[in-house]
Structure formats: C-alpha cells, structure tokens
C-alpha cells in the first residue's frame, strides 16, 4: 500500500452544493410558514366564531332596541278562546291601525249597481241563399234580458241608515243599487241626492243598523300625517285596507272615466295610500278612527297618487239629511217665461 504524503487536509467545497442546500431550506421554510399561517387562521376564525356566539347576545338587544327592530323575537301568535291562532301586533303604531280597521270595517260597505240588460245570441244567415250555401254571415239577435252587475264602489255610514259614496258610483239613474255589508248582508239602497258640484252622493238604506263613523276635521290635516284607506278594491276585494300619509292638500284635478264626462274637483286631499277603482266612496281615516276624507280618484299615469274629498264638504249635507231627510243645494240663476202678445 502506498501512502500519500502527509499533508494538511483541505476539504473541497464547491458552490453548487451550497446553492442547492440554501434553496432547499428556503422552500422548506416557506412551506412551514404557510402551514403555520393556515393553522393560525383556522384557529383564529374558529375562536372568533365561538367568541361571537357567546358574546354577541350580550350586545344584540341594545342594538335592536336602538334601531326599533326585534330580531331575536318572531311575531307573536296567540290562541283565542276558540283555539284559533291570533296575531299580536308588534308595535304600538301597528296595534293602533289594526284596532281602527277592526272597529270601522263593519260600517264600510260595498255599493253595487245592477241593471236589466239585453242578452244577445249569435246566429248565421246565408245572404246568397242556395247560390253560395256555404257562405254564412254571423249576426246577433236579442234573446231576452237579464239582471247584471254594471259597476261597484264603496261607501260608509255617516248617519243613521245613511251611506255616503261618490256620485259617479251611482250616476246611472235607471240602475238599482244594493249595499253589501262586511258580513255579506245585502240591502236595497235609495239614492237621496246626487251633489251637482262635488262628486258625492247619499243613499238611504232601511234597517241597515250599522254604527255611524265619527267625522273628523279635514281643515286640521297636515302633510306627513298617517291615513288609512278602506274600500272595495277593483270592485271585488271587499274592505281592502291600505295605509299611507297625507301627501298634499288643496289639490285641484280634472277627473273622468270610461264613458263618463270629466269634471274639475277642488280642494282635494292627496295621499299615497292605495286608491283603486272600486275604492271610490270609501273612507279615508286618521289614527283617531275619524273619517277625514272620501276616496274619489287616482292618477292613472303614476303610482301612489290618490285623492279624497275633504270630509268637511259633506257635513252640511249630512246635517240636512239628519234633520229633514233630504238635501237642498242653493243655486243662483235666472228663470224666464215666454209671453205671447
């Protein structure tokens, strides 16, 4: 065996292995750091969720109370004496509206107009006879008459056995009118008077025996005041309820309908409470349960713009009906006679 010269050992270190070693350790450090961050994030998130679950209820009641929301409670449903579920209003304002609607609804009625109308049937004729036997022309011929409902509106009891509605609801002098109560009872109605200036009319209904609604003071209304509209919406949804505010006062509009003459209505109450065909003649009420207007019209080219006649406009007529049973309207004019020599 040949021995090498005894020289001091000098390790041979190249830069390449060191470079690979550094890269390897950097990658491991990054991976370990990312894993640590991921674990810490999961732990922090889980801990935060647990903390929120146990701590948040201590603060939530204060937040909901300030915002007037009751998030921790569901609507209260109670049972009445019959075992049926009954809703409990959640706020004083809601309870007030519900109470007013329950109190006044029996005195809000539907006014239905019926009339005998001809009934037609279709038949075919042969104008060319046997020359063109298959050429037939349809024609109509009357096949008797039958009673049909021609219109419907709303009204309310303003005096004993007296119902106030709109004139356009009872404008047909040849029709018969029926009042239908909230309970579905039907009564024949007689038109006492049709106001020549205002869109108002007064009906006498024998044996109606419903509570008279209190009349408020329409001159005391202010914009933003809460109001409630009740009526026979679309002529089929009896005693529908909508709420809104007084949007404006002293409005003047030109109103009309299909086949009806237009007329100018003045000093109206504007409201965003829903007023639809069929609501006409129904009451507009304040939060004291007093009638402050008679629903009369709505804007057809916009939403939430309805109008009501101020209740002060009917007080004189109602007073006359109560005292004399009739209404007299003053007028100024000239009468003349033709005298022949």
- Please name each of the domains of the chain with its CATH number: 107-204 (2.40.10.10), 218-324 (2.40.10.10)
Cα–Cα distance list, 70 to 8, 28, 75, 86, 135 (Å): 88, 53, 9, 19, 74
Query: Residue 61: its pLDDT value, please?
Result: 47
Catalytic residue among 151, 168, 240, 242: 168
- For 201-227, write each residue's pLDDT tens digit: 999 999 999 999 999 999 999 999 999
pLDDT, one tens digit per residue, over 22-38 is: 444 545 555 556 556 66
pLDDT (0 to 100) of residue 21: 43
183-202 tens-digit pLDDT: 999 999 999 999 988 899 99
Q: Which of 242, 247, 280, 313 is catalytic?
A: 280
Q: What is the mean pLDDT of the chain?
A: 80
pLDDT digits (tens, 9 = 90+) for 91-146: 888 889 999 999 999 999 999 999 988 888 888 888 888 888 888 888 888 888 88
Q: Which of 199, 218, 272, 313 is catalytic?
A: 199
Query: What's the rounded Cα separation, in Å, for the pair 24 and 296?
Result: 87
Bridge partners of 254, per DSSP, are 264
> pLDDT digit string (tens) for 251-298?
999 888 766 678 899 999 999 999 888 889 999 999 999 999 999 999
199 a catalytic residue: yes
Averaged pLDDT for residues 327-339:
70
The pLDDT assigned to 50 comes to 56
Are 261 and 277 a contacting pair, CB within 8 Å? no
The reply to whether 168 belongs to the active site is yes
Task: Kindly state the percentage of the chain with pLDDT values over 70.
Answer: 71
């Amino acid at each position: 065996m040949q021995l090498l010269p005894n020289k001091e050992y000098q390790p041979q270190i190249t830069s390449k292995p060191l470079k690979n070693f550094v890269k390897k350790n950097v990658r491991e450090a990054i991976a370990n750091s990312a894993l640590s961050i991921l674990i810490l994030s999961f732990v922090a998130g889980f801990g935060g969720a647990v903390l929120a679950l146990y701590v948040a209820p201590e603060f939530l009641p204060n937040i909901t109370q300030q915002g007037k929301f009751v998030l921790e409670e569901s609507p209260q449903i109670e049972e009445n004496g019959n075992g049926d579920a009954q809703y409990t209003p959640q706020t004083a304002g809601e309870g007030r509206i519900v109470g007013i609607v329950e109190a006044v609804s029996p005195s809000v009625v539907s006014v239905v107009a019926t009339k005998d109308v001809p009934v037609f049937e279709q038949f075919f004729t042969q104008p060319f006879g046997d020359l063109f036997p298959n050429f037939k022309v349809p024609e109509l011929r009357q096949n008797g008459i039958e009673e049909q409902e021609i219109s419907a509106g709303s009204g309310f009891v303003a005096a004993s056995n007296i119902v106030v509605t709109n004139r356009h609801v009872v404008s047909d002098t040849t029709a018969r009118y029926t009042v239908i109560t909230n309970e579905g009872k039907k009564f024949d109605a007689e038109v006492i008077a049709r106001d020549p200036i205002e869109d108002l009319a007064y009906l006498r209904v024998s044996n109606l025996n419903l509570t008279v609604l209190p009349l408020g003071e329409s001159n005391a209304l202010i914009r933003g005041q809460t109001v409630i509209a009740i009526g026979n919406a679309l002529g089929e949804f009896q005693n529908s309820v909508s709420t809104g505010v007084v949007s404006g006062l002293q409005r003047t509009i030109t109103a009309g309908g299909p086949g009806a003459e237009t007329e100018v209505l003045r000093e109206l109450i504007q409201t965003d409470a829903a007023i639809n065909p069929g609501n006409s003649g129904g009451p507009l009420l304040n939060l004291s349960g007093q009638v402050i207007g008679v629903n009369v019209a709505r804007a057809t080219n916009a939403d939430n713009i309805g109008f009501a006649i101020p209740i002060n406009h009917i007080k004189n007529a109602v007073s006359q009906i109560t005292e004399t049973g009739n209404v007299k309207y003053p007028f100024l004019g000239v009468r003349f006679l033709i005298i022949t020599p």
